[in-house]
Amino acid sequence: MTDASSLTTEALAAIGRAPSEDDLARIDQEYLGRKNGQVSRLLSNIAQLLPAEKASLGKAANEAKRAIEAALAARRAELETARLADLAETEAIDITFPGPPPERGHIHVLTQVRRQIETVLESLGYQVELGPEVETEWYNFEALNIAEGHPARENWDSFYFSKELLLRAHTSPVQIRAMQRIKEPPIYIITPGRCYRRDPPEATRLPYFSQVEGLAVDKGLTVGDMKGTLLYMIQSLYGRDRKVRVRPSYFPFTEPSFEFDVSCGICGGIGCKSCRHKGWLEVGGCGMVHPQVLRSGGIDPTQWNGYAWGFGIERMAMLKHDVDDIRLFYESDLRFLEQF
C-alpha cells in the first residue's frame, strides 16, 4: 500500500511539472505503460501474495492508475488553455489593419502601342473611327477597287462565313463607312482594329493581327504631306535612330502606291530572323487614294483628293520593343508580358 501511495505521489508531482504535451506522453508511458509501466511492475508479483494481500494491492494499484490518468487529463487541459491564450496574444488579427495590396495586371503591350499611335495622330487632328469585324464583300473588296476576279484578291485570302460575309482582311472598309457617314471633307481619321487573313503562323505573320489605317481627304494633298505625316509618326514612336525607306509598289486602292519600311532594331539593319535577313521590316503600305475609292465613299474625286496608309500594330510593337517573333504577343507567357 505504501509503495502504491509513493508511486502516485511521485507521478502526480512529475505531471504537475510537465511543460508540454510530449512530456505528458512520456510520463503516461512511464507510469501506465502496459508492459514496463511502474503500475504494471507494482502488480508483477501479485500471484505470490496471500488472497487478502492481493485484494489490497489490486485496489491500491487501480486507485493509483485512476489518480494518474485524472492528473494527466487535467494537465493536458491546462496546457491547451495556455496554448490558446498564447495564440490569442501572438496571432491576433487586427481587422482594422490594411491588408497587402492585391496584385494588379497592366495593359497589354499591343494595346499600349495602339494607344500611343492614336495619341500621336490625334495630336495632328486625326479622329479614331471603328467598324465591324464581320464585313460584306462590297466594303472589304469592291468599294476599295478590288472587283471580283481581280488578281489582287489573292493577297487577301480571307475567312468567309458565306458568299457575301467574311472576317475583314483590313480596316480599310471603315474608311469607306466613315466617308459615307461624314460625307463632307475635310476628313482626317485613323481606323485601328483586328483583321484576319489565311496566313500560316510564323515569326512575322499570323492569321489574326491588329492594324491601324489612316485616311486624309482634303483639297491639294500631296505625297509630301503623306510622307511628312508618316515620318512624324515613326519618329514620335521610335526616335530618330531608326532609318526609314519608301519603295514604289502597287495597291488597287491607291495610286501611286508605296511600301513603307523601318530598319530592324534587333540586328541594326544587318539581317536576322525577325527581318528575314533583309535588315528592314515592312511596316505597311501607303499611297494617294484612288479616285474610285473616293467615289465609293461618296466623295467627288474632281473636287477632293487624299492619302491613306495601313500599318500592322504587332509589327510596330516589334520595332518599338525589339521583339523578334510576332507570336510572343499572343502566347500569354507572363515572363514575356511582364516586361512591358
Instruction: Return all residues near 196 (Cβ < 8 A) that are at least 6 apart.
Output: 133, 158, 159, 167, 168, 169, 207, 208
Residues of the chain with CATH 3.30.930.10: 109-337
Kindly report the pTM of this predicted structure. Answer: 0.67
Checking if the pLDDT of 302 tops 90, the result is: yes
- Please give the average per-residue pLDDT across 267-294, as a whole number: 85
In contact, 283 and 316? CB cutoff 8 Å: yes
In contact, 137 and 166? CB cutoff 8 Å: yes
Pick the CATH number of 109-337 from 1.10.10.10, 3.10.129.10, 1.20.120.160, 3.30.930.10: 3.30.930.10
Number of Cβ within a 10 Å radius of residue 10: 13
Higher pLDDT: 62 or 122? It is 122
The tens digit of pLDDT for each residue in 193-241 reads 999 998 888 888 889 999 999 999 999 999 999 989 998 998 898 878 7
Nearest residue to 164 via CA among 185, 143, 134: 134
Checking if the pLDDT of 316 tops 60, the result is: yes
pLDDT tier at 155 (50, 70, 90 boundaries)?
low
Q: What is the pLDDT of residue 1?
A: 43
The tens digit of pLDDT for each residue in 15-52 reads 888 888 888 888 888 887 777 777 777 777 676 777 77
Q: Please state, for a pLDDT cut of 90, what percent of the chain lies above it.
A: 42
- β-bridge pairing 165-167 and 134-136: antiparallel
What cell was used for 326? Answer: 510576332
